[in-house]
Each structure stands twice: as structure tokens, then as C-alpha cells.
Amino acid sequence: MDDEYIVPVYAVFDDLAKAFLEPVKYNPKMTVAEILTVAVVAARYFNNNHERALIMMYQTGYIAPARRLSVSRFNRQVHKYADFLAFCLDSLLELCRVGEAFVIDSMPLPVCKRVRARRCRKVRGQDYCGYCAAKKEKFFGWRLHLICTPNGIPVAFSVLPASYHDLTPIFELSAELPPDATLYGDKGYNYADGEYFLADEGLRLVPIRKKNMQPHPWADEYDLRLYRKGIETRNSQLESMALDRLHARTNAGFDIKVQASLIALWHTQILAN
């Protein structure tokens, strides 16, 4: 943990809370900005373990001992401000929806081991039985669909059941991109009708062609090789935040940790660039 990361995260939450939330009538032990900052720090440094992050924030002096919350009270406060956390994420993503090139990809978000799927209480049904072609393995849970800039800054996302194809949310996600942009993807995004539809909306979809397909012009092939590596790195960063092995008792808690991880990734890439 370091001040150069934690202080900007807190400052963003604090400014948004002052601008969009009504003042609290009582004097809370921890402010909204502090609570959400702990959630993002947990994603960035502690594999989304809120308890460990909370303890370290106390021990390192970021939060005064007199204002310490128990883990259960902290979790209740995080859930209380879950809608505001989602609003903050949407606001940050919208800031970076500029430019001409974007990259799309998906990654598994399992909720449990595949052999335990029958006993899972958070989600049920075949819709949540998915397959990851990159890892050549089956999983049970959700799938994160993410659009990033070439610099790796996330700009749009969607979480859908694991069995849904990568193309399912592409029209909804791409609608938020600026006009005349180009969206680069892997082989899973080859869809001729979809490319024509997006072209009518002023957006180019450029997926990696399969061997039996007509290749792209050399300029598109060059850009694919240049930009595709970035989204794979972002997936690895999210996996380092334990998105592929999240522990959450409820779907609401699962969503909170996914959103906190995306905010952590956003700040990481903004500070790096």
C-alpha cells in the first residue's frame, strides 16, 4: 500500500460523495469515502479480502483507532452504499470513453467449483455453466465482458451468466463508445451481421479472423497485434485481484467486489499513464 494510490482513490470518492449524496445527519465513525476506499484497497492489495484491508488501514494509520468499525458493521455499510459505488464506477468509466480505438474481451467469474454447482445457492441453472476457450476449462458462475482503451483503462463492462456468448452484450456496450471508433476483439467476435449493424451505427468491429475467413487489411492486422496484448494484461491484473476466485455469500456482495476491482484497475491504469 502507498499514499500515491490510496489518497487519490479517497479524494475521488470524497468529491463524488459531497457532490451527489445528502449530508449525513449523524456523525458516523467512517465516512462513505473511507468505506468505499477500503473496498477498493481490498481489491487492489488484498485479493478482495475486506477484513485484511480493514485491519491494515487501521494499523497503518489511514483510519484512526477511535473510528474503527467491526468487520460485520463495515460489510453492512458497504452494502448500504452499493448503489453509490456503482454510480462512482459508471462516472469514472464515462470519463475515459474518448479516442478512436478500444479493445473488448471477456473473462470467467466463477462463483464456486464446477463440482459444487448443484449445491450453489447464489445462482442455479445451466445458464451459469460456461466454458473458457483460452484456459480450456469449464466453470460455473458469471462472465465479465470488458471494454478498455489501448492503455488498459476500462470504459464499459457487463456481467452476464457464463453460458452467454461473447457477442451477447456487444451492441449494448458499444453504444456507449464515441462515433467512428474501432473495437478490436478476438476470434469469438466474428459475426458478419453484427459488423454490418455496428458499421451502420458508425462503429467498426475488427475481430481476429479465423484461418478459413477473409483476412483484414494489413493496417487492421497490425493494430490487432498492437492492441490485443493490452486487454490480456488487464485480465491478468483482475485475476491478481482474485476475480476468478471471489468469496462472497450473496450476489450483492459479489457485485460489490467486482465493481471495486474495476475501480481499482481504473485508478491503477490512470496513475500508470
Residue 163 domain-assigned (yes or no): yes
Is 88 part of any domain?
no
153 and 221 within one domain: yes
Based on the domain organization, do 190 and 230 belong to the same domain?
yes
Q: What is the pLDDT of residues 231-261, one digit of tens each?
A: 788 888 899 999 988 888 899 999 999 999 9
Whether 272 maps to a domain, the answer reads no
- Judged against a pLDDT cut of 80, whether residue 1 lies above it is answered with no
Whether the predicted pLDDT of 83 surpasses 80: yes
CB count in 10 Å sphere of residue 100: 12
Sequence-ordered list of residues with C-beta below 8 angstroms from that of 209, at least 6 positions apart, any chain:
187, 190, 215, 216
Exposure string of 17-54, with b = 16+ CB inside 10 Å and e = fewer, is beeeeeeeeeeeebbbbbbbbbbbbbbbbbbbbbeebb
pLDDT above 80 for 208: yes
Q: For residue 42, is it within any domain?
A: yes
Within-domain flag for 268: no
Residues 108 and 231 placed together within one structural domain of the fold: yes
| Average of per-residue pLDDT across 188-193 | 83
Range of the domain at 35: 3-80
Share of the chain above pLDDT 70, in %: 99
**CB-CB contact of 252 with 82 (8 Å):** yes
Q: What is the count of structural domains for the chain?
A: 2
Q: 153 and 30 in one domain?
A: no
Residues 105 and 230 reside in one and the same domain = yes
Residue 44's pLDDT band, with cuts at 50, 70 and 90, is very high
Q: What is the pTM of this model?
A: 0.93
Q: Tell me whether residue 261 is in a domain.
A: no
**Mean pLDDT, range 65-80, rounded to an integer:** 90
pLDDT band at 53 (very low <50, low <70, confident <90, very high): very high
Q: In the block, which residue shows the cell 474501432? A: 182
- Asked if residue 139 is part of any domain, the answer here is yes
Residue 102 in any domain: the answer is yes
